[in-house]
Amino acid sequence: MTIKKDYVRPLDIKHGRVDMNHGAGGRASMQLIEEVFARAFDNEFLKQGNDGACLPVPSEFLEGGRMVMSCDGHIVSPLFFPGGDIGCLAVHGTVNDVAMMGARPLYLSASFILEEGFPLADLKRVVDSMAAASREAGVPVVTGDTKVVEQGKGDGCFIATTGVGVVPRGVAVGGANAKPGDMLIVSGTIGEHGVAVLSQRESLEFETQIVSDTAALHTLVAAMLRAAPPGAVHVLRDPTRGGLGTTLNEIARQSNVGMLIEEAAIPMLPQVEAACELLGLDPLYIANEGKLVAAVAPEAADSVLAAMRAHPLGVSAARIGAVVADEHRFVQMQTRFGGKRIVDWLSGEPLPRIC
């Protein structure tokens, strides 16, 4: 008697949908992993097919470097938006969180929570975009997980990513390190991601050419650190949810300082300004996914700014203000109009005003 050779019918990516079997841990799960995830993320660690990834220790550790670890959950709606999708966003978001510690990002993990009924074609599109972003950033996805929830219990696809990286010796970047006198620098025009996503929301749909700024910022960070004397870059942070306004308040609170910024100096595309005006939103509270704000020692500000402007992701970098001593930790802004006001924390979700 001969035993017939295994034949597995390939996944119907074009018409198929995620079902509960894909999350049950059996053959269907294995097939989904092999045909969608492993194929896209393909790397030596993932190929081993173990419960975890066994990774070599980078040389910086041996020279007194420290490890950085950061995680981020991604739940964007809609999943596909002008300029990106949840896949590349999941890579960029975590790479950036690691980079904001002054670290070189090394590896990513990815955990997918899929909703029963989610089209396999969409899943493939998301995973391929994620793989492309990870390759472009040079940060491989080395371990992952997939779960499936019943229809109605998820929003198509959620992705949680974790990143690890290494901070070279001598680099001390952190939210608590801003000092009075530091210059505040933002790496480019603000508000694009939030407006691009809003423009696609069902209830809002408006036509715009604004695309999300989603991008991995670790090479920009590396260029900034190279351009500055050791220890001169005090704070790095990416103003994602809550926007620039909230990020500045976070830094002020952590560092126990105040800030004074100039409205006219904040780079912004006129289309973003116009869309916000129309929707009654304040661009200072709109999310970015490819921008950073830095507090830099004043003597290093010029060289850091020059290095940023020489990098493709920092061409419109600008000095927007300075850190000041203030026990109340107010972020004050000189308005273009000539008055002064606070830029406060965002309260709740940004809601449009009615008249």
Partner 1 sequence: MKYVDEFRDGALARGIAARIAAEVRPDRRYSFMEFCGGHTHAISRYGIAELLPTEVRMIHGPGCPVCVLPIGRIDQAIGIALDQGAIVCTYGDTMRVPASDSLSLMKAKARGADIRMVYSAADALKIARENPAREVVFFAIGFETTTPPTALVIQQAAKEDLKNFSVLCCHVLTPSAITHILESAEVRQYGTVPIDGFVGPAHVSIVIGSGPYEHFAEEYRKPVVIAGFEPLDVMQAILMLVRQVNEGRAEVENQFARAVTREGNLAAQRAVSDVFELRERFEWRGLGEVPYSALKIRAAYAAFDAERRFELHYKAVPDHKQCECGAILRGVKKPTDCKLFGTVCTPENPMGSCMVSSEGACAAHYSYGRFRDVKVTVEAV
**Chain residues in the site for partner 1 (CB under 8 A):** 203-204, 258, 260-262, 270, 273-274, 277, 279-280, 321-322, 324-326, 328, 330, 332, 334-342, 344, 347-348, 351-355
Q: Which is nearer to partner 1, 57 or 204 (CB)?
A: 204
Q: Which is nearer to partner 1, 200 or 334 (CB)?
A: 334
What is the number of helices (H) and of strands (E) in the chain? 11, 13
End-to-end CA distance of the chain: 81
Q: Which is nearer to partner 1, 1 or 351 (CB)?
A: 351
Min dist. Cβ of residue 252 to partner 1 (A):
12
Closest CA to 87 of 31, 129, 148, 46: 129
Q: Which is nearer to partner 1, 10 or 348 (CB)?
A: 348
Distance (Å) of CA 301 to CA 79, 185, 187, 325, 350:
38, 8, 13, 19, 32
Min dist. Cβ of residue 247 to partner 1 (A):
17
Min dist. Cβ of residue 294 to partner 1 (A):
16
Distance CA 318, CA 299 (A): 16
Min dist. Cβ of residue 153 to partner 1 (A):
15
Q: Which is nearer to partner 1, 163 or 321 (CB)?
A: 321
Min dist. Cβ of residue 243 to partner 1 (A):
14
Joined tokens for residue 277: 């005006």
Joined tokens for residue 41: 């993320």
Longest dimension (CA), the chain: 91
Distance (Å) of CA 221 to CA 14, 61, 142, 189:
40, 19, 23, 17
